[in-house]
């Protein structure tokens, strides 16, 4: 029968399954999460009128400057992400496309996944009013406690009066771990006035690749590194770079 059809009609018939396939792909949800820069929060400040960090049993000092933890906004674990949204995000500098499994644990319900992220948050900090999930606040909450208790150790602020932003998990022995999403977080930090961004050393190159003009990227491996770098910034000493 095909031999009786004209060449244009044959091509049209052959193209129909291909078009149907593309149409199905365009409508089908994909296993990706779309992310963009989220809010930043000053751990030296307040949340809903209450201090983000509260210390009892020790005298604290007033602080100047800001220590801003950073976040990303991501589509939910059950959100339908379409191919058009994926292509749009790939070509935008303020968006990122990540495998869903890299952001959310697999094999659980949405409530179980939410519980998992809240458990991660409690492992890294004890700030019940701060409505930001995940362990990435650990480094900056630790720096905030140091600044409130001791500052730079010489009577000044650990921040040197600057707006410092960054991200990173923290372990009991002070090691700083990678968190993901740094390409979005550096943009949120710059948007909110930060001049310095502390990043886990393992993610330094990724942060540097997306660094906005005017934002200095400082890699850290431990809490001690972070404190030392902030003091060096104030004193004019040597500060690590990527």
Please write the tens of the pLDDT for every residue from 81-114: 777 666 666 667 677 776 667 656 555 454 544 4
156-205: pLDDT as tens digits: 999 999 999 999 999 999 999 998 889 889 999 999 999 999 999 999 99
Are 63 and 114 a contacting pair, CB within 8 Å? no
For Cα atoms 147, 148, 153, give the angle at the middle one, nearest 5 degrees.
Answer: 50
Residue 5: what pLDDT?
47
Residues pairing with 37 in the sheet = 72
Mean predicted lDDT score pLDDT of the chain: 78
Residue 129: what pLDDT?
37
Dihedral (CA of 117, 127, 179, 39) sign = positive
Residue 173: what pLDDT?
95
| Residue whose structure tokens are 């009577």 | 155
Count Cβ atoms below 10 Å from residue 210 Cβ, excluding itself: 18
Among 160, 220, 227, 218, smallest CA distance to 189 is for 218
Report which DSSP code applies to 58. S
110-146: pLDDT as tens digits: 454 444 444 444 443 436 333 444 578 899 999 999 9
pTM of structure? 0.73
- Secondary structure element (H or E) that encloses residue 147, with its range: helix 138-149
């Amino acid at each position: 029968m095909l031999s009786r059809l004209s060449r244009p009609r044959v091509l049209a018939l052959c193209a129909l399954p291909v078009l149907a396939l593309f149409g199905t792909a365009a409508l089908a949800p994909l296993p990706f999460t779309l992310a963009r820069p989220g809010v930043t929060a000053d751990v030296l400040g307040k949340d809903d009128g209450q201090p983000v960090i509260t210390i009892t049993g020790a005298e604290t000092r007033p602080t100047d400057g800001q220590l801003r933890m950073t976040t990303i906004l991501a589509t939910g674990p059950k959100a339908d992400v379409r191919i058009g949204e994926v292509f749009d995000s790939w070509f935008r500098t303020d968006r990122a496309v990540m495998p869903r499994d890299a952001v959310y644990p697999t094999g659980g319900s949405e409530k179980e996944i939410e519980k998992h992220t809240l458990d991660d948050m409690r492992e890294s900090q004890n700030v019940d009013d701060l409505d930001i999930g995940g362990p990435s606040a650990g480094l900056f909450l630790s720096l905030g406690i140091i600044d409130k208790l001791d500052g730079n150790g010489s009577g000044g602020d650990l921040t040197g009066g600057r707006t410092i932003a960054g991200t990173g998990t923290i372990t009991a022995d002070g090691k700083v771990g990678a968190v993901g999403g740094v390409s979005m977080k550096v943009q949120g930090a710059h948007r909110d006035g930060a001049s310095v961004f502390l990043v886990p050393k393992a993610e330094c190159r990724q942060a540097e690749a997306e660094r906005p003009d005017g934002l200095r990227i400082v890699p850290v491996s431990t809490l001690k590194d972070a404190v030392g770098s902030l003091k060096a910034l104030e004193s004019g000493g040597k500060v690590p770079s990527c």
